[in-house]
Amino acid sequence: MSRSLIVHRAGPGVTVQDLGRAGYLAFGLSRGGAADQLAIYEGAALLGQSETLAVLELAGMGGEFEASEDMRIALTGGRMRAQIDGEKVAWNASHRLVKGQRLSIGASEAGCYGYLHIGGGIATPEVLGARSGHQAAGIGTPLVSGQRMEIGEDARGETGMTLAPDARFNGGTVRIVKSLQTDFFAPTEIARFEASEFRRDTRGNRMGVRVLPDGQGFISDAGLSVLSEVIVPGDIQITGDGTPFVLLCECQTTGGYPRIGSVLPADLPKVAQAQPGTSLRFSFVSLAQAVDIERREKARRSALRSKVEPLIRDPRFIPDLLSYQLVGGMTAGDEFEKDKT
Amino acid sequence: MSDNWPLIRTAGTDGFLVSFGDSLSETANRAALAFRGALEAVNWEEVEECSTSLVSTYVRFDPLAVDHAALEEKLVALLQTCDWYDAALPKGRRLWRVPTVFGGTAGPQLDEAAKAAGMTTAEAIASISNTRVRVQTIGFAPGMPYLGQLPAAWDIPRQTELTAKVPAAGLCVAIRQLVLFPVSAPTGWRHIGQTALKLFRPDTNEPFLLRPGDEVRFHSVSTEELAGFKGDPNGGASCEVLP
């Protein structure tokens, strides 16, 4: 294996991800892919490469990595503390990782999922047309210490670029559409749902997250006798005790709990990235508005490449700052002590 | 077609669900499978993926390429081309004969399930193994079939308490349906038997053993016979293409 990323240490939820594996719904396999798909586009823009290349998704905790030869990296999604050979490097930016250097990524400081993109992409073998791990299906396993990840050839060379971070890490209002079972809920329940404030519960993973309302749970008129029906990512199912559960990319393909609405794909990263305790609200938009929002989101994702700009070096991140001649005529500061000895 | 069915509803921002009933029936399941077959055949460019649930056909499409109203119109027009409740099932379906150990440690809840269905254990085995069931849908987990429909006596509810662990390829029953688990899982269905089928094989060219519409018969074998099929991913099952 010539070009590889050596994993010295990995958090428990570091997996290979991409845009997912479409086409197997009929066989019970959901698309999966990155929990925050926008981050995939951001990393692709920063490195000037295809968004179809696979990346590492870091759930809550990063790890320590070493490049077998010089590589380019980009860090996107929920911010984590990142260092190269002990020197802090900027999030939402691209960097050079020289052969032998150690990239160390800590715990999430914002959001739940950070992403490590490598120039050339992670080149693990494809399974059913994609590289993304799908835990519920038993496809792929989280990274372990000592593992080497094969990396594709990188045709580009630029680093030191950044993108203004998108505000999707602090919860807020999530737009939803009515879906096939919204009518199972009385208008008063739907109105109460829309007026409620929710907190992201500690229970959550790539399949979905539980959100706790500030008041009582929600009751559907259909009760629990609903025939199992198709689920799509974004669906908000109301479980037996009335608590909503927002389903994410790795959700099951069918389910029997009634669903009150469905989160727009454009707003799903906001749900996935909400840390436990984060406040969320749900607001219905019309189908026409939803399509319009999706159209704008698609345009925004394709325009990301033109928004990439050189990283202005923050003095805090310049490792050899003290070697720069910043102000003329300074003393060394220790003359007095020297005189005394 | 009745006044209310088929019913077209949106599913999320980029999908339609065409439902042929609100409870499981042989005709509604047949209609959903046949309509999906028709959608695959017309192969509309804006449609990205189709699947079926028990009584519905799901269509995922690109709403930026075609607006909802236009695709709904096309779906309505296609629905009107025939009586889907009486439509022929898609071609290429197969009949699987699956060796199964019923009862004992391989199916610890068989006696209880038989009692709920008002049968002796022997009658229960005969009833299930003599019924040719169809893969009504594959869902929940990759390659996991829901098979039906069993005789009316099998309209027994799911348990309120979960069975802690059904092993992979375990056979379970409730509400006139059988399910097989691709991987070991907790379930509210009663565990009545064991097969040696490998339902999901992500590393092969044929990753899913069963397809929606396939038919299956579970015949009774001994524990020793089933053990002999352990190395066979088809678990000793035979397969023939239905005419």
CATH number of the domain within which A183 lies: 2.40.100.10
Nearest C-alpha in B relative to A178: B12
Question: Does residue B8 surpass a pLDDT of 90?
Answer: yes
Residues A14 and A152 in one domain: yes
Q: Which residue has the tokens 């669900």?
A: B17
β-pairing, A254-255 with A148-150?
Answer: unpaired
Residues B69 and B129 in one domain: no
CA distance A188 to A192: 6
Question: Does residue A340 surpass a pLDDT of 80?
Answer: no
Contact A127 B203 (CB under 8 A): yes
Q: Does A294 touch chain B (CB under 8 A)?
A: yes
Question: What ipTM is given for this predicted complex?
Answer: 0.90
DSSP code string of A279-318: EEEEEE--HHHHHHHHHHHHHHHHHHHHH-EEPPPPGGG-
Model pLDDT, residue A250: 95
Is A328 a domain residue? no
Residues 6+ apart with CB under 8 A from B84: B1, B6, B20, B30, B31, B34, B35
Return the CATH number at B66: 3.30.1360.40
Average pLDDT of span B25-54: 95
Residues B114 and B232 in one domain: yes
Residues B66 and B104 in one domain: no
Please identify, among B67, B86, B105, the residue that sits at the C-terminal boundary of a domain.
B86
Is A282 a domain residue? yes
Work out the angle at residue B144's Cα, subtended by the Cα atoms of residues B139 and B149, and round it to the nearest 5 degrees: 85
Residues A253 and A280 in one domain: yes
Query: Average pLDDT of chain A?
Result: 91
Residues B82 and B59 in one domain: yes
Domain around B154: 94-241
Contact A25 B60 (CB under 8 A): yes
Question: Does residue B3 surpass a pLDDT of 80?
Answer: no
Neighbours of B216 (CB within 10 A): 24
Contact of B113 with B195, CB cutoff 8 Å: no
Is A215 a domain residue? yes
Among the listed residues B4, B9, B2, B6, the one whose alpha carbon sits nearest the alpha carbon of residue B38: B6
Residues A233 and A123 in one domain: no
Residue A152 DSSP code: -
Residues listed for chain A: 341
Please give the order of strands across the beta sheet that includes B56-61. Answer: B7-10, B15-19, B56-61, B47-52
CA distance B166 to B184: 5
Q: Counting beta carbons within 10 angstroms of the beta carbon of residue A241, is it exposed (0 to 12), middle (13 to 18) or buried (19 or more)?
A: exposed
Chain A residues close to B63, C-beta within 8 Å? 291, 294
Model pLDDT, residue A335: 42
Work out the angle at residue A197's Cα, subtended by the Cα atoms of residues A194 and A202, and round it to the nearest 5 degrees: 125
Q: If pLDDT is split at 50, 70 and 90, which confidence band does A316 have?
A: low
Residues A77 and A181 in one domain: no
Choice among A193-197, A311-315, B17-21 with the minimum mean pLDDT? A311-315
CA distance B119 to A194: 50
Residues B146 and B216 in one domain: yes
Model pLDDT, residue B2: 58
Q: Does B207 touch chain A (CB under 8 A)?
A: yes
Choice among A24-33, A275-284, A312-321, B93-102 with the minimum mean pLDDT? A312-321
Work out the angle at residue B231's Cα, subtended by the Cα atoms of residues B226 and B233, and round it to the nearest 5 degrees: 90
Chain B residues close to A25, C-beta within 8 Å? 49, 51, 58, 60
Model pLDDT, residue B223: 97
Residues 6+ apart with CB under 8 A from B127: B117, B119, B150, B151, B153, B154
Token reading at A299: 């345009």
Chain A residues close to B141, C-beta within 8 Å? 28, 136-137, 252
Model pLDDT, residue A223: 63
Average pLDDT of span B119-143: 95
Contact of A239 with A221, CB cutoff 8 Å: no
Q: If pLDDT is split at 50, 70 and 90, which confidence band does A299 have?
A: very high
Question: Does residue A224 surpass a pLDDT of 90?
Answer: no
Residues B64 and B124 in one domain: no
Is B2 a domain residue? no
Chain A residues close to B9, C-beta within 8 Å? 179-180
Residues B140 and B58 in one domain: no
Q: List, as ranges, residues 59-88 from B with C-beta within 8 Å of A.
A: 60, 63-64, 67-68
Q: Does A264 touch chain B (CB under 8 A)?
A: yes
Chain B residues close to A180, C-beta within 8 Å? 9-11, 17, 19
Question: Does residue B35 surpass a pLDDT of 90?
Answer: yes
Model pLDDT, residue B164: 83
Question: Does residue B160 surpass a pLDDT of 80?
Answer: no
Residues B52 and B110 in one domain: no
Question: Does residue B170 surpass a pLDDT of 50?
Answer: yes
Chain B residues close to A128, C-beta within 8 Å? 202, 207
β-pairing, A14-17 with A161-162?
Answer: unpaired
Residues B229 and B208 in one domain: yes
Q: If pLDDT is split at 50, 70 and 90, which confidence band does B14 have?
A: very high
Q: If pLDDT is split at 50, 70 and 90, which confidence band does A298 have?
A: very high
CB burial string A52-75: b at 16+ within 10 A, e below: ebbbbbbbbbbbbbbbbeebbbbb
Question: Does residue A329 surpass a pLDDT of 80?
Answer: no
Average pLDDT of span B62-90: 95
CA distance B195 to B102: 9
Question: Does residue A306 surpass a pLDDT of 50?
Answer: yes
Question: Does residue B198 surpass a pLDDT of 60?
Answer: yes
> How many domains, in total, are found in chain A?
2
Question: Does residue A325 surpass a pLDDT of 70?
Answer: no
Residues B78 and B98 in one domain: no
Token reading at A106: 């800590």
Q: Does B212 touch chain A (CB under 8 A)?
A: yes
Nearest C-alpha in B relative to A295: B64
Residues A150 and A221 in one domain: no
Residues B70 and B170 in one domain: no
Question: Does residue A160 surpass a pLDDT of 60?
Answer: yes
CA distance A334 to A317: 25
Q: If pLDDT is split at 50, 70 and 90, which confidence band does A328 have?
A: very low
Domain around A264: 172-295
Query: Average pLDDT of chain B?
Result: 94
Residues A133 and A208 in one domain: no
Q: List, as ranges, residues 197-226 from A with C-beta within 8 Å of B.
A: none
Amino acid at residue number B215: E
Beta strands in B149-196 (DSSP E): 163-166, 170-174, 177-180, 185-187, 190-194
